[in-house]
Structure 1
């Protein structure tokens, strides 16, 4: 059987709400860190033949603790085929020659593209849930995520924040991070400054912009190299910090809700502290 596209898989899978246990794939291999997150959330552990090694890295993977109990594979064609997979979750941006042998083997391969919005995350949950034979589980996860997002507290005013990364890069508009900030009641500084999806913002420009918050990934909480050094420059000390684990933002997925909840809690705390001071 040739590799199936996402569209074909979705059409086939839509014919049934859930596959019987005997028809579900039993040896699933993931070649994509983001697909790892969906796979761990939706498949039975015994269905997982291998995740990527990055799935066990707590700096990269929201499911690192669970991944430590599951097998991993480095993604070489020989190693993948040795697992005798009946379903492979890959990335559309992976070098196709690296998957040529896998494709030629006739294994069912589903590409999981990066999520650029919450709507993308929902679509990918449905895609993977159907592929692994657990569509009701996927719908239940989506329902919980929708409820959690609807319950987010709204701040008394919309503060301005910059998602500031190593070497002074700022995440801009029309990104998953931008949407996440909006859900937490924040205005992205990139919008006010007219910045693109990713831009470099100097210390001088950041200080002059006077955002209410800087959002930093926890991997940048301390100075470890020149890239993180500027995030801790004395000129920025007067700007309040919000912190998010990089593992919650490197991929779209269920951790999107954790990130939104964390931002909302930190913003609420900052407003309470500010009110007490005044």
Structure 2
């Protein structure tokens, strides 16, 4: 089972939002409506699936169809899944390659004589950055109106969303005691629903480990956990079910909703709000 810290390290790299060549050479402009789009990053997969026609998609990463990692896994079924090999990309001859960033792809670097149009996207750790990625991707795949419609729909889903956290402390606690800190999408989500992130309160970095004893001593009001750890599958998930933590109310959300800055952000926010309300209702 992969967790946010592992998936994030492998899949979310910084980059600049622009179209440029993969390796030194002349810049190549994508067609207005590209017909052979290849995504080489899990987070890019989800944006391409949301905004491009299926007929435009020539390849996605092998993680695109993994429901534990991708919020758009169902949409990816039946589409070509690539292993990030130079040979596969060369055979497709894409007219747009999308990544975070595409220009750091080892597969593309292995094709020094080829210069494909690229869309380099920034990692999105805030809602405004998600919107920027949506708009950039929609324009690059030839459907800018779809991007605006998706942003409007997400804004509508978040309009009037309450903050039932009411300043209470929550910890996003993962397998093997990993805790997500500030400057992350999880932290932004916590603030949106009215929580204070325990990691920030303790001065922890974006990713840290907190022992079971330290978590019990910190006494957060809520634990937010990945739904994949709702049942014990190994030692990594077993610690989240220790009796010492059973008195702390927990909120469970799929990792696939939060590992990337994607349209699933609004689903995650609304789910957290609903679960807080349900817990508070039981307590009353």
Residues 146-155 or 183-192, more deviating? 146-155
Q: Distance in 2 between matches of 1:169 and 1:94?
A: 30
The equivalent of 2:263 in structure 1 is 254
Is 2:219 the counterpart of 1:210?
A: yes
The equivalent of 2:142 in structure 1 is 133
Contiguous gaps of at least 5 residues in structure 1: 10-18
Contiguous gaps of at least 5 residues in structure 2: 1-15, 21-29
Is 2:95 the counterpart of 1:113?
A: no
Q: Distance in 2 between matches of 1:232 and 1:185?
A: 25
Counterpart contact for 2:103–2:120, Cα < 8 Å: no
Q: Distance in 2 between matches of 1:42 and 1:191?
A: 35
Match of 2:101 among 87, 92, 97: 92
Cα shift readout 1:206-252 (whole Å, capped 9, x = no counterpart) = 11111111100012112212211111111101001100101111111
What is the DSSP-based 3-state SS (H/G/I as helix, E as strand, rest coil) of the residue aligned with 2:83?
Answer: coil
Please state how far the C-alpha of 1:205 moved relative to its aligned partner.
Answer: 1.3
Runs of 4+ off more than 6 Å: none
Q: Distance in 2 between matches of 1:235 and 1:47?
A: 51
Please state how far the C-alpha of 1:113 moved relative to its aligned partner.
Answer: 3.0
Is 2:53 the counterpart of 1:44?
A: yes
Change (3 A) 1:80 1:156: closer
Q: Which structure is higher in helix share?
A: 1
What is the DSSP-based 3-state SS (H/G/I as helix, E as strand, rest coil) of the residue aligned with 2:173?
Answer: strand
Counterpart contact for 1:52–1:75, Cα < 8 Å: yes
Match of 1:74 among 83, 89, 112: 83
Q: Distance in 2 between matches of 1:178 and 1:89?
A: 26
TM-score, length of structure 2 as denominator length: 0.86
Q: Distance in 1 between matches of 2:181 and 2:112?
A: 36
Q: Distance in 1 between matches of 2:111 and 2:142?
A: 22
Please state how far the C-alpha of 1:96 moved relative to its aligned partner.
Answer: 4.4
What is the DSSP-based 3-state SS (H/G/I as helix, E as strand, rest coil) of the residue aligned with 2:163?
Answer: coil
Cα shift readout 1:15-55 (whole Å, capped 9, x = no counterpart) = xxxx9xx8300110111110000000000111111111111
How many residue pairs get matched?
260
Cα root mean square deviation, aligned: 1.9
Is 2:153 the counterpart of 1:144?
A: yes
TM-score, length of structure 1 as denominator length: 0.88
Change (3 A) 1:200 1:94: farther
